[in-house]
Structure 1
Amino acid sequence: MNPEAIAVLIPAHNEEELLPRALAAVAAAARHPALAKLHVLTVVAADACVDDTAKVAREAGASVLHLGSQNPGKARSAAAQHAMATLGTSATATWIASTDADSAVPPHWLAFQLDQARAGWEAVIGTVTVPRWPPVPHLADRHHELYNASRPAGGESWRHPHVHGANLGVTAEAYQEVGGFPALPVGEDHALVSALERNGHRVLRTPDCPVETSSRLRPRAVGGFGDHLAQLAAEEGVMH
């Protein structure tokens, strides 16, 4: 695949504080020289927001969708549909990248996914890192232990088991073939990747281009990465 356009999807529920950093990071990734001839459209799905999330997104140059479902699956799906309609490119020439409002992609994030698309991968499933931890003893160590449990020793290639909406990319064609993000309140990213793998699409699971994400223990989305950290923090509080 040789993409002509890239859609970046960001669901957001009351994210006026963290969204500017996320959008600045995506904008920097879109300015990478490897994307010089591509149209990059960032779509923020402002889902059931009562703050200035939509205003922040518009001021940063993103296309904004207003939703009222407070459902990440519906938000990502609606953002993808809006992006495809706005870009006007065919599914065979469009790459869909997904991240989160509390995350910051690295400057080469889109260029990295573009390289994998050109190499024939139909989806790229990345990892996340946490740059700043809350003051909970042993939380970071426990997370790293569990997160990297399956990583091979000796620097061998790691086909990791994780799926994060904060670090995911897929061809629009493969995305549409499996029905896109399902309207789930949690796990829409896992469901999409499972469908891609079940239907025989070429899925690259790689730790080579991680995305920084928040360590907040009171996340916006129930049942996601933040809840996982909150559960670990509670366990560490009991254990120590």
Structure 2
Amino acid sequence: MKKIGVVIPACNEEAYIERCLLALKSAQLYFFQYFKSIENLPEIQILVVLDNCTDNTAVKVQQMGIQAISCDFRNVGKARHLGVQQMIGQGCDWICCTDADSFVQCDWFQVMSQHQPTDAICGVVELDQWDHLSHKTRQAYLRHYQDSMGHRHIHGANLCFKASAYVNVNGFQQMECHEDVDFIHRLEEAGAQIVWSNQLRVTTSSRLSSKINAGFAHFLQNLELIQATKKTISLCK
């Protein structure tokens, strides 16, 4: 890890982007303070990929002094890939991915450095709010989710890897969703070393609205629907 690049795809995320970037800046400062005695500390570059943004996301990114590039893909796989290519082109040998509606914990960079050497790290996520979800949905989610070392969850909101490993398997594909899962599965098939860590943590939005009929928000929406259906069936008996 000589130069770290962080890639954040964003499509109309003005409600969340400041929270995301402030957390990354805090994690960057924490990392530098923690390792201040080490020579040749890795440089950290943060990049937001503005994909068909029509709101104030770009303005907020600019106000925070964060590097950004624009595209009109309307496709998270293509947008994430564009950002990774940009970071590799700037000399980054370690790439981190998170999402605009998520925020990293302050020790994010520290933890990934402690897991070295490896080809990739898959971290875990926790939800930012539960109030709008039923108690049954929360129970079902917590039963499903493996918040432990050795888990098998894959989140584009909390994923990092060697640039060379990314290039070796041709990176993220042009997918509207699950480009992260596809990428990690190809890394596994290539025999890459992957750490499945619950120490690398990101908090993500528990919103139920989604721009596509898939992904994490869609998963939560379906889970809520399933629990509501079970309740209705139980009341009808």
TM-score, normalising length: structure 2:
0.90
Contact 2:3/2:91 (CA < 8 Å) preserved in 1?
no
3-state secondary structure, aligned to 1:206: strand
3-state secondary structure, aligned to 1:189: helix
Alignment of 1:8-157 (within 5 A): 8-31=6-29, 32=31, 33-34=33-34, 37-85=41-89, 87-89=90-92, 94-117=93-116, 120-137=117-134, 138-148=136-146
Count residues with an aligned counterpart. 224
How far does residue 76 in structure 1 lie from its aligned partner after superposition? 0.6
Unaligned runs of 5+ residues in structure 2 are: 232-237
3-state secondary structure, aligned to 2:200: coil
How far does residue 196 in structure 1 lie from its aligned partner after superposition? 0.8
Q: Does 1:223 align with 2:214?
A: yes
How far does residue 45 in structure 1 lie from its aligned partner after superposition? 0.7
Contact 1:77/1:181 (CA < 8 Å) preserved in 2?
yes
* CA radius of gyration, larger in: 2
Partner of 1:176: 167
Query: Distance between the aligned counterparts of 1:201 and 1:133, measured in 2?
Result: 36
Identity %: 31
Query: Distance between the aligned counterparts of 2:53 and 2:97, measured in 1?
Result: 20
Partner of 2:154: 163
Query: Distance between the aligned counterparts of 1:28 and 1:158, measured in 2?
Result: 25
Contact 1:22/1:102 (CA < 8 Å) preserved in 2?
yes
Contact 1:134/1:215 (CA < 8 Å) preserved in 2?
no
Query: Distance between the aligned counterparts of 2:35 and 2:137, measured in 1?
Result: 38
3-state secondary structure, aligned to 1:208: strand
Q: 1:5 to 1:222 in 2, by over 3 A?
A: farther
Query: Distance between the aligned counterparts of 1:35 and 1:114, measured in 2?
Result: 10
Contact 1:126/1:207 (CA < 8 Å) preserved in 2?
yes
Question: CA offsets per residue over residues 183-231 of structure 1, 9 Å max, x none?
Answer: 1101110011111111011001111222100100002454111100000
Partner of 1:190: 181
Unaligned runs of 5+ residues in structure 1 are: 152-156
Match of 1:199 among 180, 190, 215: 190
State the AA in 2 paired with 1:203: I
3-state secondary structure, aligned to 2:94: strand
Query: Distance between the aligned counterparts of 1:147 and 1:170, measured in 2?
Result: 23
Contact 2:17/2:57 (CA < 8 Å) preserved in 1?
yes
